[in-house]
Amino acid sequence: MRSKDKISYFYDGDVGSVYFGPNHPMKPHRLCMTHHLVLAYGLHNKMEVYRPHKAYPVELAQFHSADYVEFLNRITPDTQHLFPSEMARYNLGEDCPVFDNLFEFCQIYAGGTIDAARRLNNQLCDIAINWAGGLHHAKKCAASGFCYINDLVLGILELLKYHARVLYIDIDVHHGDGVEEAFYFTDRVMTVSFHKYGDKFFPGTGDMKDTGERDGRFYSINVPLKDGIDDGIFTRLFKTIIAKVVETYSPGAIVLQCGADSLAGDRLGCFNLSIDGHAECVRFVKKFNLPLLVTGGGGYTKENVARCWALETGVLLDTELPNEIPDNDYIKYFGPDYSLKLPGGHIENLNSKSYIGTIKMQVMENLRCIQHAPGVQMQELKGCLLSVFVRIAVALHLRYILPLKVIAS
């Protein structure tokens, strides 16, 4: 057990000024609200706070196609009408609008996740947090579900330079389809997604039968849930599955996507999770004492998103936060009770005992299929040889990331 975790936290106030449009549910302003709660509770004094670098196009093209990255870089609200075929090809439009400073927004949130992975790789921290990241729907050549650049895939690719196996866990209400798709054919990344499935719920993927292909067969785990799941059922299922996954897969690092749209009362969600229930998943993953990269994700009732991620920052710091929210620049959003905790909801729970039992049994059966499969020892060796050179390069890069004790906006 580590006596005290060293935590790196990434934030750039510019992400909060991005505006998707008046009727769009994605409100990056929630990140400013989260950060001001972190400041109000004094959590910044217990972490290393960094402003991330803006990811270069060549870094984004480590996963995304170069033509897609280039188009994101040059398209603007004023010029989008000139490129109807490209807009359609790259799935830009209503769900994924073109807005001012779109590419810079992508560079910032992707840069935060890349920097977080690099600090973990260089053992400069035990846990790295980028609440602006977690945009798990973006595809190699297209935007999807409010996501343009898949920072999670880029972060995992960084971690794979040092670790033979990386575990990706997703507790967003939506299936982590972009991350699963990126690693569907490899055993070097195991993806585990807990999500709402059925009733044409976006993105429509994530069936229990989708388990990966070729070398990746059984390395994609989907936990498809129905409306109204509550803390008790969700956390018991989560702990049972994740404990067995870690035991079986033995990852070198974990990436945890903490989409807050799985909370009760979310504008686009349909679960009954309280903030305590959501945070219990974070607490459980932290106990494995593995290098841990934590990101945000979905979440469309912005005051509840801020509550959730501030409380989970406290969980990662082993710091219990008072339920009464301290005064801060966004205090008016948290009225009338100004409390941090959010209770569970009252949507009818359609997840029967037998349904949950079937999911658990199928996941355990899939894990048994890989228990005696050949490992990736050769890749482990290759990673060790590569790391000598990579560590030098990354250490030089990290000298230019500016550490900040307080970022006020």
> Is 44 marked as binding a ligand?
no
CA separation, residue 297 to residues 45, 129, 136, 164 (Å): 25, 12, 7, 25
> What's the CATH number where 262 sits?
3.40.800.20
Could you tell me if residue 291 is inside a domain? yes
Label residue 5 by pLDDT band (50, 70, 90): confident
Q: What are the tokens at 374?
A: 């050949």
Other CB atoms within 10 Å distance of the CB of residue 193: 26
Is 397 annotated as catalytic? no
What average pLDDT score do residues 259-285 get? 98
Could you tell me if residue 232 is inside a domain? yes
Label residue 26 by pLDDT band (50, 70, 90): very high
Helix (H, G, I), strand (E, B) or coil at 47: coil
Per-residue model confidence as pLDDT tens digits over 230-241: 999 999 999 999
The candidate with the shortest Cα–Cα distance to 258, out of 320, 169, 191, is 169
What average pLDDT score do residues 296-300 get? 98
> Is 162 marked as binding a ligand?
no
> Is 184 marked as binding a ligand?
no
Could you tell me if residue 346 is inside a domain? yes
CA separation, residue 54 to residues 77, 142, 400 (Å): 21, 20, 12
What average pLDDT score do residues 15-34 get? 95
> Is 178 marked as binding a ligand?
no
What average pLDDT score do residues 166-181 get? 98
Could you tell me if residue 2 is inside a domain? no
Full domain range(s) for residue 126? 7-369
Q: Output the average pLDDT for the chain.
A: 92
Could you tell me if residue 392 is inside a domain? no
> Is 215 marked as binding a ligand?
no
Label residue 73 by pLDDT band (50, 70, 90): very high
Q: Does residue 162 contact residue 249 with C-beta atoms inside 8 Å?
A: no
How far is 387 from 409, CA to CA, in rounded Å? Answer: 36
Which among 137, 163, 175, 278 is annotated as catalytic? 137
> Is 174 marked as binding a ligand?
yes
Helix (H, G, I), strand (E, B) or coil at 42: coil
Scanning the structure block, which residue is given the tokens 């936990």? 223
How far is 409 from 401, CA to CA, in rounded Å? Answer: 18
pLDDT at 389 over 70: no
What average pLDDT score do residues 257-277 get? 98
Could you tell me if residue 1 is inside a domain? no
Could you tell me if residue 387 is inside a domain? no
* Count: domains in the chain: 1
Could you tell me if residue 398 is inside a domain? no
What radius of gyration do the chain's Cα atoms show? 20
Specify the amino acid at residue 132: A
Helix boundaries (H) for 202-320: 231-249, 275-286, 302-316
Label residue 407 by pLDDT band (50, 70, 90): very low
